[in-house]
Amino acid sequence: MSNKAVSYAGPGKVEVIDTPYPEFELKDGPGVNPANVGRKVHHGVILRTIATNICGSDQHMVRGRTTAPEGLVLGHEITGEVVEVGRDVEFIKVGDIVSVPFNIACGRCRNCKEGQTGICLNVNPDRPGSAYGYVDMGGWVGGQAEYVLVPYADWNLLKFPDRDQAMEKIMDLTMLSDIFPTGFHGAVTSGVTVGSTVYVAGAGPVGLAAAMGAQLLGAAVVIVGDLNEDRLAQARSFGCETINVAHGSVEDQLEQILGVPEVDCGIDAVGFEAHGHGGDAGKEAPATVLNSLMDITRAGGAVGIPGLYVTGDPGAVDEAAKKGALSLSFGTGWAKSLSFATGQCPVMKYHRQLMMAILNDKAPIAKAVNAGAISLDEAPRGYAEFDAGAAKKFVLDPHGLISRN
């Protein structure tokens, strides 16, 4: 059977390629760790992809800002229909429509048993934690494709309770694979509760998801900061306050909104390609957001960091940043007794409760992030427009199953 997929073709380029139909074995290919080649996946399923989204994390690779090899099949945000089940799968059935957590987890190791599925010990020989179609993540083939293999299916997959309802809300449900739980995780780990004041750095899809997550948790005020006016307008569309960080200090603008220059909870939804604030807004300054959050988060507060940071960035502004070393004012964090939470979101910790919020009309996340469906063949255009700052979440529809209404 044929299969088409989106692959990284060098800095600034993606292309749609013909790629092998999945088998229940991890084959050699771009980015596959040699220790994983030949790994049997009888515990997996093959999905016909219904929706697979372009993520800001993908953009880091496509910009050439990681060590990703050319030819890597992209995509870690996957929703699909089960078309084949492996020999050892017990509970997932052909025909089920499911959400795939972006982090691959075995369900057997110490970390998985403790709910830390973002740092599974058994799926990536390089380091704890894995993901589909991502550099240094073990080489599991990405899901921006017509068909994709999902390992440890009984453990990883979230089955939607009703097929027709799932297809009706598919543009919301596709956000459960990554950005909605990731944003929500940022809000949870920053300590958001009823009455909190919250600052979200970054109005991309994860930042907007964090803002909606903070609202669901009962925040009194959610303020989103960015340089992109279209993305800030998107944040205002569902009740957030906004500040343009190019227009002056974050503290001063917060004080104009809140009466004080600080918030209870800070969230970094930007990551390692951050730019400066104020007069330095056009320059890349990777530690800017983290240092700003330490300044504006109240003493005793917490900073959630769902934004991506890496240990290898060939395009970084200095030698230290190329290795993931940033000039942080850690003394500020220490003096203020701040707590920090970093790393991959453990998607399974949140995805079922967020699914229920979606199915019961409590979380219109697709509208919040301005999601729009395009065909798989249109992926290069979607990547280019997203990279240019489009205030939109691009959802790829490989089989034409999503309504364009």
What tens digit of pLDDT does each residue of 72-98 get?
A: 999 999 999 999 999 999 999 999 999
CB 197 within 8 A of CB 221: yes
Q: E-strand spans in 174-320?
A: 197-201, 221-226, 241-244, 263-268, 297-304
The model's pTM? 0.96
Amino acid 245: pLDDT: 95
Q: Using the Cα atoms of residue 60, residue 394, residue 376 and residue 173 in order, give the sign of their dihedral.
A: positive
Query: Mean pLDDT, to the nearest integer, of 142-165?
Result: 98
The letter for the amino acid at 11 is: P
Which 8-state DSSP code applies to residue 64? T
**Residue 267 above 80 pLDDT?**
yes
- Which CATH number does the domain 183-341 belong to among 3.40.50.720, 3.30.1490.190, 3.40.50.1980, 3.40.1190.20? 3.40.50.720
**Residue 405 above 70 pLDDT?**
no
Contacts of 325 (CB under 8 A, 6+ apart): none
- Which CATH number does the domain 4-178+346-396 belong to among 3.40.50.2300, 3.30.2350.10, 3.90.180.10, 3.20.20.30? 3.90.180.10
Q: What are the start and end residues of each CATH 3.40.50.720 domain in the chain?
A: 183-341
Q: Which residue has the tokens 């697709």?
A: 366
Amino acid 7: pLDDT: 97
CB 5 within 8 A of CB 144: yes
Amino acid 320: pLDDT: 86
Exposed/middle/buried for residue 267 (C-beta within 10 Å: 0-12, 13-18, 19+): buried
Q: What are the start and end residues of each CATH 3.90.180.10 domain in the chain?
A: 4-178+346-396
CB 204 within 8 A of CB 179: no
Amino acid 222: pLDDT: 98
Amino acid 89: pLDDT: 98
* Predicted confidence band of residue 404 (pLDDT cuts 50, 70, 90): low
* Predicted confidence band of residue 204 (pLDDT cuts 50, 70, 90): very high
Give 171's Cβ-side CA count (13 Å radius): 20
Query: Mean pLDDT, to the nearest integer, of 130-151?
Result: 96
